[in-house]
Amino acid sequence: MKKLKFLVKYGVKKRLVSKAFLIANAVIAVIMIGIMLVPSIMGSVGSQLTKIDDEIVIVNHSTYDEGDKDFTAYIKNYISSYIGAYMMVDNVTYIESDLVPPLDYYTQKHTEDGLVYLYRELIEPSLDPNDVNNYVIKAKVYDTKMNSVLKTALEASLKELNRIKYMLDNNVDNALIIDLVPEYVENPASGGGISELLVGLAPIAVIPLFILITFAVQGIGMEIIDEKSTKAIEIIIASVKPTTHYVAKIASIIIFQIIQMAMILTYALIGLGLNAFVNGVSGGSETWSALLGDIAPMIVPVVSLVFICAILGATLYAILGAFIGSISLNQEDYQQTQTPLMLLMTAGYLGSMLAGLSQSGLLLSIFTYIPFFAPLSIPITYLMGYISLFEAIVGIVVLIASVFVLGLLIAPLYKASILSYDQSKLFKRMKNAYKNAKALEANKRMYEENNLDEWIRFKKLFRNINWSNLKVGF
């Protein structure tokens, strides 16, 4: 037990003090803190929005210039709403004038950026000019240097004036003349607009899982190769059982993954703390809850699933990585022998990501219960609402059982191949490892049976002793 603890402690410490780990975590820390500061960054950008501070002259000769029939007020309100919708600051100055712009307007110097001239035009000059149904509203716009957004807003407001005139002149309810806007009936299964957001988040949830699992496979394989290539493995196996060495490698990977995930979570919490601090200083209210909206309550379960699946997935693939490392000869050989394993991981990654992007609920649900795809699929499938939390837990239970069974199956193969320097092709090595494992198991069973026979003969001999005839002399 002491040797196992020493090997586990040594393996974890070796990974934690490596330069690759320190550099990778520095990068991860910067990225995670940056991601957590996104609401504050968005708020900061929002507080520095583009200001439109043009000066506009409005000449209203339409006779609609009082109270609820004031076209000038309507134009101002419309432009203000339009600019706000574009996330800009409305700082437009309006000057009301009665002077009709001259024909040589553009040859004169003006301080304003634009001018709007509203007037009436008779439909039939021979009829009553005061008949509200005998004239329309016309507008002339003089653009010297108007902001493009302001100009678009002005054009949109002017298009509505004759419609508003008809409504006011005939006392018609606005509901009877407004544009018909269709109401789109949402599919209850689609989750409304949330599904699009979840589709965008799906790859983000897969990528870190894939990276962590890849690091675990590479880490355990390269560590075993280092020991084999320097012949240090022979000294280690002379001191501890191969099974103990195997368990130590897997245990160190599990502990290391837990530490790594805890550190990533710490970086995220630091980022959230900084986000809250920045909001407190700047007086902002930008939070992740507000940014995520309806899916905010799902974040804690999803993060928990990512944490668990990262550890279980890393363990599952690390077991295979340990076996691949045990049958490899050196680093170059390991890069070749691990190809099937990397292809399996890539298939799981691409399958989960593409299924998430295509919103294939059936395919994702199937992946949830396939051990080599489950670590990457469970968090995404739950996040997108294709499975419940209970079904996700069932998938995790299946994954745990698969890790346990695979660990038991690989243990004898690892024992048979850790001291092997077989240079045949990959599948030939696997076949030889299986044969050697069976041979070792048969030898062990034979040894135990022989020892058992000796013990049985000893017990019979012990029972046949006539203890009454024995004399003890002093």
Residue 26 pLDDT > 50: yes
Taking phi first (over 0 means left), then psi (-120 to 50 degrees means alpha), and beta for anything else, what does residue 109 get? beta
Beta-strand relationship, 114-122 and 135-143: antiparallel
Residue 64 pLDDT > 70: yes
pLDDT at 44: 58
Shared-domain flag, residues 405 and 267:
yes
pLDDT at 360: 65
Beta-strand relationship, 93-97 and 55-61: parallel
Q: Which of 421, 437, 467 is the last residue of a domain?
A: 421
Q: Which of 176, 210, 229 is the last residue of a domain?
A: 176
Q: Residue 42 — pLDDT band, cuts 50, 70, 90? A: low
- Residues 316-348 have pLDDT tens digits of 988 988 888 888 877 777 778 888 888 888 887
Where residue 126 sits, what CATH number does that domain have? 3.40.190
Shared-domain flag, residues 105 and 253:
no
Shared-domain flag, residues 24 and 89:
no
**Is residue 306 domain-resident?**
yes
Angle among Cα 53, 59, 61 to the nearest 5 degrees reads 155
More confident residue, 186 or 57: 57
Helix H or strand E segment including 139 = strand 135-143
Note the pTM of the prediction, 2 decimals.
Answer: 0.64
Q: Where are the alpha helices (DSSP H) in 114-160?
A: 148-159
User: What is d(CA 282, CA 305) in angstroms, rounded to the nearest whole number?
Assistant: 34
Q: Residue 193 — pLDDT band, cuts 50, 70, 90? A: very low
Averaging pLDDT over each range in 52-61, 180-189, 322-331, which range is the top one? 52-61
User: What is d(CA 398, CA 371) in angstroms, rounded to the nearest whole number?
Assistant: 7
**Is residue 447 domain-resident?**
no
More confident residue, 439 or 29: 29
User: What is d(CA 242, CA 9) in angstroms, rounded to the nearest whole number?
Assistant: 17
Shared-domain flag, residues 292 and 146:
no
Closest CA to 140 of 38, 40, 61, 87: 61
Shared-domain flag, residues 248 and 368:
yes
Averaging pLDDT over each range in 34-43, 59-68, 84-93, 235-244, which range is the top one? 59-68
Shared-domain flag, residues 162 and 223:
no
pLDDT at 474: 42
User: What is d(CA 368, CA 382) in angstroms, rounded to the nearest whole number?
Assistant: 10
Residue 73 pLDDT > 60: yes
Using the Cα atoms of residue 250, residue 256, residue 262 and residue 264 in order, give the sign of their dihedral: negative
Shared-domain flag, residues 35 and 145:
no
Shared-domain flag, residues 151 and 233:
no
User: What is d(CA 80, CA 89) in angstroms, rounded to the nearest whole number?
Assistant: 9
DSSP string covering 71-102: HHHHHHHHHHHHHHHTT-EE--EEEEE-PPPP
Q: Residue 94 — pLDDT band, cuts 50, 70, 90? A: very high
Count of domains forming the chain: 2
**Is residue 181 domain-resident?**
no
Shared-domain flag, residues 304 and 397:
yes
**Is residue 371 domain-resident?**
yes
pLDDT at 342: 85
Q: Which residues contact 51 (CB under 8 A, 6 or more apart)?
A: 88, 89, 91
**Is residue 209 domain-resident?**
yes
pLDDT at 96: 92
pLDDT at 117: 95
Shared-domain flag, residues 275 and 393:
yes
Shared-domain flag, residues 207 and 296:
yes
**Is residue 466 domain-resident?**
no
Q: Residue 386 — pLDDT band, cuts 50, 70, 90? A: confident
User: What is d(CA 313, CA 403) in angstroms, rounded to the nearest whole number?
Assistant: 9
CA dihedral of 408, 410, 412, 418, whole degrees rounded to 10: -140
More confident residue, 286 or 55: 55
Least confident residue range of 143-152, 203-212, 258-267, 438-447: 438-447
**Is residue 1 domain-resident?**
no
Residue 106 pLDDT > 60: yes
CB-based contact 157:79 (threshold 8 Å): yes
Shared-domain flag, residues 282 and 149:
no
Least confident residue range of 61-75, 211-225, 275-289, 334-348: 275-289
Beta-strand relationship, 55-61 and 89-90: unpaired
- Residues 452-462 have pLDDT tens digits of 555 566 566 65
**Which domain covers residue 153, as residue numbers?**
51-176
